[in-house]
Amino acid sequence: MSEPAEDERTAAAAEPAAHGVTSDELMEVNAARALAGSRTCFVGIGLPSTAANLARATHEPDLVLIYESGTIGSRPTRLPLSIGDGELAETADAVVTVPEMFNYWLQGGRIDVGFLGAAQVDRFANVNTTVVSRGAGRPEARLPGAGGAPEIAANCRKVLLVLRHSRRGFVPALDFVTTMGHGSGPGDRAKYGMRGEGPAAVITDLGILRPDPATAELVLTETHPGVTVEQVRDATGWDLRVAPSVTTTAPPTEHELAALRALKAAGRKGRETS
Amino acid sequence: MSEPAEDERTAAAAEPAAHGVTSDELMEVNAARALAGSRTCFVGIGLPSTAANLARATHEPDLVLIYESGTIGSRPTRLPLSIGDGELAETADAVVTVPEMFNYWLQGGRIDVGFLGAAQVDRFANVNTTVVSRGAGRPEARLPGAGGAPEIAANCRKVLLVLRHSRRGFVPALDFVTTMGHGSGPGDRAKYGMRGEGPAAVITDLGILRPDPATAELVLTETHPGVTVEQVRDATGWDLRVAPSVTTTAPPTEHELAALRALKAAGRKGRETS
Amino acid sequence: MAGVRSLHDAVADLVHDGDTVALEGFTHLIPFAAAHEIIRQGITDLTLARMTPDVIYDQLIGAGLVRKLIFSWGGNPGVGSLHRFRDAVENGWPRPLELDEHSHAGMANRYVAGASGLPFATLRGYRGSDLATRTDTVSTVTCPFTGEELAAVRALTPDVAIVHAQRADRAGNVQMWGLTGVQKEAVLASKRALVTVEEVVDALEPRPGAVVLPHWVLDAVSVVPGGAHPSYATGYSERDNAFYRAWDAIARDREAFTAWLDTEVKAAGATGTAEVSR
Amino acid sequence: MAGVRSLHDAVADLVHDGDTVALEGFTHLIPFAAAHEIIRQGITDLTLARMTPDVIYDQLIGAGLVRKLIFSWGGNPGVGSLHRFRDAVENGWPRPLELDEHSHAGMANRYVAGASGLPFATLRGYRGSDLATRTDTVSTVTCPFTGEELAAVRALTPDVAIVHAQRADRAGNVQMWGLTGVQKEAVLASKRALVTVEEVVDALEPRPGAVVLPHWVLDAVSVVPGGAHPSYATGYSERDNAFYRAWDAIARDREAFTAWLDTEVKAAGATGTAEVSR
């Protein structure tokens, strides 16, 4: 369920966007904002963890962070490298076993938001983190696999996805459906007996896509400052639908940006010294 | 699974047997001896708990006592009144939840002996602790119910039963089968997919019955000192089979008797002061 | 989201006539004070669920508030029968009592299924027993891999769970330790949950064997020191075994029981002195 | 019955060619030293089970000892791919690797079923996912009460479980705390179990969050201080994140990996200095 190569990609994507803000920072700030009003979040490692911790550091100080390693209510002071960093347990309200986490807490339907990364997403916000085809005669490229994602997406009240925008990531057809988002359209989640409403937003470094309530197909609803609709359509592997009025996301506030950069600096420092 | 009225009955049955030893003490000492060679015992409250604690105090100091309240390796200094007395937890190697106890420890097939009491037993060592018929037109007499017994008897490697001998208790046909012992004879446990060998002995205040390996029917194999075979047959509600050579149980040693009386005195004292 | 509330208000808000209520606690931490508040408020037609009914359910049953009991072992541990329970089952006094009777393993797994959001649980249980003939919440399921037939029990999802714990913090997070039985499962299986605690503290220092229930899975926390008596709260009190033994004589007689209920529960509550709550 | 034994002897006795082995630990307490001993002894044709294969399985796979992997997430957490795992899957180097791939919820429940003596477990899982099309250990089961169809996963019952823990007492009882993941389930699901520990102490003082595994469910305990490195043991060490990042470059290249394995595992073991055991 995680972004496998967070560190490397962050470095690559660090070119400044508008106002000295990188496109990754726009993604992360908007991903954090998407948690407004949520009480509990099942947090994937990598970008989702950055977003959830930023939300805690800014507008949702009481957000309960839940990591699949068994921690409930973690309050890390730095971004964890792995989902089982010691600080996640030491600062938690409760630590439970992994089976208890998946059965009582996730499957029990108690968690507001499942926040996931993805390698490939399709127009119905289904996710592939398993294998990617490299064409005829070549072996499939192996991704990490499902992790907790299929059941996180099925059992949380809603799902947020965060990943960088590219034609490699936003594909017309998944090579493998690891995690069902909206299936093949409206009604599919109900047909499969899934609890939550499914993916409510896909936050990228270019903007935000949301499912059309009527068709469940992802629609571009917001772009980040300085990003055009055409840029987003170019970076999407299918003919991306666009909302009648696409708005621009508010630029990061100084507080958001400072909090995000402090979290990341603490994470780097923590990783070097530990 | 427990003897409901331990205290009252102990008082009533306290008339001295041979050598100043009561018939209850003979039962308890022999019940403790039946644990020889066992490593782990799932302990019912009442007589089984007395026996298991006496075994620990005498010949099986390393016997691991497991109580369904969740304690593994309890070392009580006095006989607990209930299965959830604080000392059982405080002295345990581990305390687990009740579901974990039944699923991982009992159903997992890890426990050598299940030690149970009973209200009614039949010739195949099936047990009733649910309801007793009081005859036509009268309501059934209500007993406490199953507790852990059905799964203890199914999942431990073997089962020991301990109860006082009477025609009310040793009946030709159970009014209700709460807990299957040997069913209706050999092969029944295998038919039901049960793990352990089932009841290996029924220890009473008069002697010891054991299942005939060929028929699974309980046979009188031992009487306590001063008890005749006729006495046992008279106290049994069916035509009790008797082994070709019935032996006499060894009288309690001074050590056994002293340990038993010390445990009971500590139990009484603990109950009064707590 | 749990708020710290008076026991009176919490019970009045969360427990309604006709509800299925699980007041759990395996010998330890039995929520007697909350049961007494239910009695004082006369909340009735209840279906009560509990592995070990114990004296707490003897009192609720004798008070005439219970229509049905879901359980696996109904005795006064180490002492004898629950006479009010028996009187209700055998003689219908003060009203008939319907039973849904299980083994401990079955009851524990019914709560596990409820807590896990599953409609049933699987176990190696009830084999060769007549229990399954008297309930419609035991069935069978076949393993799709091995073909083996196993017992299935229906998930238990009470309307309300009530448990007692040692402590809560000011946010309403609850901490309990010692024998924690099936309480977490009962709370998580239920639609609503009330916890009575010995005290509220500033911070829940981690303790060996402690279970923490986050405030956001609870609906109310009430401070009721001694709220488990005659059961106990490890670290705060000891089990009042003398009360359990004395209960036998009280419960054996309908009049003695009724008098006890009037003076010790109904009158005590009216003056507000029996349990300090805030 | 666990005895305290040298890691060499414990591994030699308990782990055999062709076994299914679960070396568990969710980021925390990963039993690296035991894995290195398996590599030194060249125990091969293994089926490895683990929720999060991590660098430990990258090493075993790269060493050519693994025939099949049962898992749910195979990455280097926060860093990137497991290159030896990918090389085996994508290119069959040094040998082909068969996969039995699950979700975390499915894997956790496979261990739960194993620990519980059940042939399968039920969950709300795999719905709408292609995962079930590539494994024969996911199926469905129908609730006998509601008719709902749910996912069933086959019990996982490894031949051997190997875990790392903080401490053991002289009887071989083991105590671990911090993130304890799925280790208890893995140990109880397996036919044999080996635990490496940081130290042996006279008595296991109770600790918050501690899990105790009694000696009588274990087959051997070996004292291996630092035996989880580069993973960590809460209270004894911190996660060596630098090693995890450095692993990416080592594992990316077959020759670099082979050289690393020779010097850091095979040679180190030969001199007996890498892990102190007794």
Please report, rounded to a whole number, the percentage of residues in chain C having pLDDT higher than 90.
Answer: 94
Cβ distance of B93 and D117 shorter than 8 Å? no
Which residues is D20 bridged to in the sheet? D47
pLDDT, tens only, D172-208:
999 999 999 999 999 999 999 999 999 999 999 999 9
Q: Give the per-residue pLDDT at D86.
A: 98
Question: Which whole number is the average pLDDT over D71-99?
Answer: 96
What is the DSSP code (8-state) at residue B262? H
Alpha-carbon distance C113 to C156, whole Å?
A: 7
Q: Give the per-residue pLDDT at B81.
A: 79
Sorted by sequence, the CB contacts under 8 Å of residue D242 that are 6+ apart come out as A271, A272
Residues 66-95 of B with CB under 8 A from C: 68-71, 80-86, 88-90, 95
Worst-scoring range by mean pLDDT, A73-87, B120-134, D5-19, D122-136? A73-87
- Higher-confidence residue: A10 or D31? D31
Helix axes A254-273, A47-57, angle to 10 degrees: 120
Minimum CA–CA partner of B93 in chain C = C209
Alpha-carbon distance B252 to B32, whole Å?
A: 11
Note whether D249 contacts B: Cβ–Cβ < 8 A: no
Question: Which whole number is the average pLDDT over A75-104?
Answer: 90
| Residues of A that are catalytic | 68
The number of beta carbons lying within 10 Å of the beta carbon of residue B173 is 13
Q: Give the per-residue pLDDT at B80.
A: 83
- Cα separations (Å) of C252 from B91, B129, C53, C231, C265? 35, 20, 16, 20, 18
Q: Give the per-residue pLDDT at B79.
A: 87
The catalytically annotated residue of B3, B28, B60, B68 is B68
pLDDT, tens only, A182-195:
999 999 999 999 98
Please report, rounded to a whole number, the percentage of residues in chain C having pLDDT higher than 70.
Answer: 96
Q: Give the per-residue pLDDT at A271.
A: 55
Q: Where are the beta strands (DSSP E) in chain D?
A: 3-4, 20-23, 46-50, 66-71, 75-76, 80-81, 98-101, 120-123, 138-142, 149-154, 160-169, 174-176, 192-201, 211-213, 220-223
Q: Give the per-residue pLDDT at D278.
A: 36
CA distance C210 to chain A (A): 9
- Sites in chain B below the pLDDT cut of 70: 1-19, 269-274
To the nearest 10°, report the CA torsion of D123, D129, D133, D135: -50
Q: Give the per-residue pLDDT at C59.
A: 98
**Could you tell me the pLDDT band of residue D249, with boundaries at 50, 70 and 90?**
very high
What token pair was written down for B158?
């073997």
Pairing type for strands C138-142 and C149-154 reads: antiparallel
Question: Which whole number is the average pLDDT over A138-144?
Answer: 94
Token match 């488990």: residue? C228
DSSP letter string, B137-163: TSPPEE----TTHHHHHHHSSEEEEE-
pLDDT, tens only, C254-266:
999 999 999 999 9
Question: Which whole number is the average pLDDT over D104-129?
Answer: 98
Alpha-carbon distance A188 to A154, whole Å?
A: 12
- Among partner residues D145, D146, D152, which is closest to C144 by beta-carbon distance? D152
**Could you tell me the pLDDT band of residue C1, with boundaries at 50, 70 and 90?**
low
Q: Which domains does chain D have, with CATH numbers?
A: 3-102+157-266 (3.40.1080.10), 104-154 (no CATH)
Residues 214-243 of D with CB under 8 A from B: 214, 216-217
Task: Share the mean pLDDT of chain C.
Answer: 95
The verdict on ipTM greater than 0.85 is yes
Alpha-carbon distance D174 to D226, whole Å?
A: 16
Structural contact between residues C129 and B150, judged by C-beta atoms closer than 8 angstroms: yes
Cβ distance of A82 and D244 shorter than 8 Å? yes
Nearest residue to C254 (alpha-carbon basis) of C97, C61, C46, C53: C61
Helix then strand count (H, E) for chain A reads 9, 14
pLDDT, tens only, A118-137:
999 999 999 999 999 999 99
pLDDT, tens only, C4-18:
899 999 999 999 999
- Cα separations (Å) of B98 from B71, C184, C185, C207, D89? 9, 10, 10, 20, 42
Residues 18-57 of B with CB under 8 A from C: 45-46
Residue A4 pLDDT exceeds 50: no
- Higher-confidence residue: D269 or D8? D8
Q: Give the per-residue pLDDT at D273.
A: 36
Q: What number of residues does chain C have?
A: 278
Q: Give the per-residue pLDDT at B85.
A: 80
Q: Find the angle CA(A79)-CA(A84)-CA(A89) to the nearest 5 degrees.
A: 85
Q: Which domains does chain B have, with CATH numbers?
A: 6-269 (3.40.1080.10)
Helix then strand count (H, E) for chain D reads 9, 15
What are the chain D neighbours of C149 within 8 Å (beta carbons)?
none
Helix axes C241-252, C54-62, angle to 10 degrees: 30
Minimum CA–CA partner of B155 in chain C = C124
- Higher-confidence residue: D151 or A270? D151
Residue A198 pLDDT exceeds 60: yes
- Among partner residues D118, D140, D144, which is closest to C140 by beta-carbon distance? D144
To the nearest 10°, report the CA torsion of B234, B239, B244, B250: -40
Cβ distance of D73 and A69 shorter than 8 Å? no
State the best of B98, B103, B268 to mutate against chain C, taking most chain C CBs within 10 Å.
B98
Alpha-carbon distance A157 to A115, whole Å?
A: 11
Residue D272 pLDDT exceeds 60: no
Residue C272 pLDDT exceeds 60: no
Residue A16 pLDDT exceeds 50: no
Which residues is C99 bridged to in the sheet? C69
Q: Give the per-residue pLDDT at A87.
A: 87
Helix then strand count (H, E) for chain B reads 9, 14
Taking the model in full, what pTM does it have?
Answer: 0.95
